[in-house]
Amino acid sequence: MKHRLFMYVISAMFTVLVGPWTALNSAPYAAVVMDARTGKIYHSRNADTRLHPASLTKMMTLYVAFQAIEQSEISLDSYVTVSRNASSEPPSKLWLKTGQKIQLRYLIRAASIKSANDAATAIGEAIAGSEVEFAKRMTRTARAMGMDRTTFKNAHGLTQSGHLSTARDMTILGRHIIYDYPQYYNLFSRRSADAKVRQVNNTNRRFLGAYKGADGIKTGYTRAAGFNLVASAERGGERIIATMFGGSSTPARNARVAQLLDMGFKRAPSSAKLQRPRIPPYERNQNEHKGKTVRLMTAVKRSLRPKIRPFGSGPVPAELLIAAAPEVQIQPDDILAALQSATSGAVVVQLAESTYAPGMARISPRVRPPRLSFVADPVAEQPTESVARRSKSGSRTWAINIGKFNSRHQAERVLLRMALAEMSTLDGADRTVKARATGYDALFTGLTQDSADLACRRLHAQQLSCFMVAPS
């Protein structure tokens, strides 16, 4: 009896001591397999269960950073001062020091490749002023993408109450990174990189080296989350994204994700029409305009125009008459009448009685010769290209077509309006009008393939017509 009681006590102690540790190390499993080209889901398991994303969080940290760079909030060459909060983050880290200044490009490399927590926090603080405000911006961006079950509380992904996401949401985010910022996507396939402070190695290098076509994206691990991975691979024009939460180890996770990708490539059609995800709107910081408002006085209280000089009894020089006349309000009808008068062969200028100062002599202007005209004779429109602005980059040969119009003037107006509205993407491009038998094509030429692709995607997001024109 005493022996049995002793065994019960030992069993209870084992349950109390070991049970909680086991629970902490057995994270729930979830998985999604998606065709990146179309967004179609081929497999899902617990896809909408809210779980700990761990360092998969850094995908959104980096996405917001890419967005901020594109919108000129910050640049890759901007120096970031490392705060005490950032330098005190636990590993994995770049081992930044408080007060250290480092360029944003190196922080991005460290966060994407090494999954450095201190680098991620420094990025967030540099863009939003604090990690809390940056996390709110991350969540707003997630909602705009359709990540409805994701809430971010920090920039690095370490376990925190309420910091949760799902396998489906992280797959959506991975797809946005691939297609919204292709110029930065190569970061996630680098095996190593220079992060200024030190050379850093990719946390996903084993999977990248083992799976054919793998080129990203991000790993994640905490005790609460398990071993997570969002992976993407491309084979023969087919691209599959596989997401897994809750792996028991790195080898087990990599093996399972490889199986998920294989499943995706088997089910995906060899060809499919690319349906890019809709780019979310630019999310500014909520506290950006909460500072003190300073009103500037722009109205001029007293005119700076000099007073009319007094004239004597003698004759007034003709060149002073214009200066002596008071301000005259010119109406559009007056301009039209002047043009018509100019083209008729004679111009007669009459000043009202009130425009003369006392003692001024009346002076009648000379009649213009009939041969002179303000309006050139009409010239037949030639089927040639009209370029409003020439680019300095001769190596850029891609173009985008934004529509066909009934007249050259209409096409040029639309090109100018688009150039002003999309200066961030179309700056440096040529505005070109091509005459066709069916109308006038409006094009932006002199673009790279990436800039043409980005410009079209931004215009499509505004429900505007656009298609790329490859070099001929």
Catalytic residues: 55, 58, 115
* Tokens encoding 188: 């996630």
Q: How far are the Cα atoms of 68, 267, 448 from residue 427, in angstroms, in the given order? A: 18, 42, 12
Q: Which residues pair with 101 in a beta bridge?
A: 81
Indicate the pairing of strand 226-235 with strand 238-247: antiparallel
Instruction: Report CA 70 to chain centroid distance, whole Å.
Output: 4
- In which element (H, E) is residue 124 found? helix 117-128
Q: Please, what's the b/e burial string for 378-405 (b: 16 or more CB within 10 A of its CB; e: otherwise)?
A: eeeeeeeebeeeebeeeebbbbbbbbeb
Among candidate residues 124, 296, 112, 308, the one with its CA nearest the CA of residue 215: 112
Q: Rounded to whole angstroms, how far apart are CA atoms 61 and 122?
A: 10
The three-state secondary structure class of 276 is coil
Cis peptide bond N-terminal to 424, omega within 30: no
Q: How far are the Cα atoms of 49, 79, 101, 139, 448 from residue 164, in angstroms, in the given order? A: 9, 31, 32, 11, 39
Q: Which residues pair with 403 in a beta bridge?
A: 442
Indicate the pairing of strand 192-194 with strand 41-45: unpaired
Question: Is the CB of residue 7 less than 8 Å from the CB of residue 14?
Answer: no
Q: How far are the Cα atoms of 36, 182, 256, 336 from residue 177, in angstroms, in the given order? A: 11, 7, 23, 55
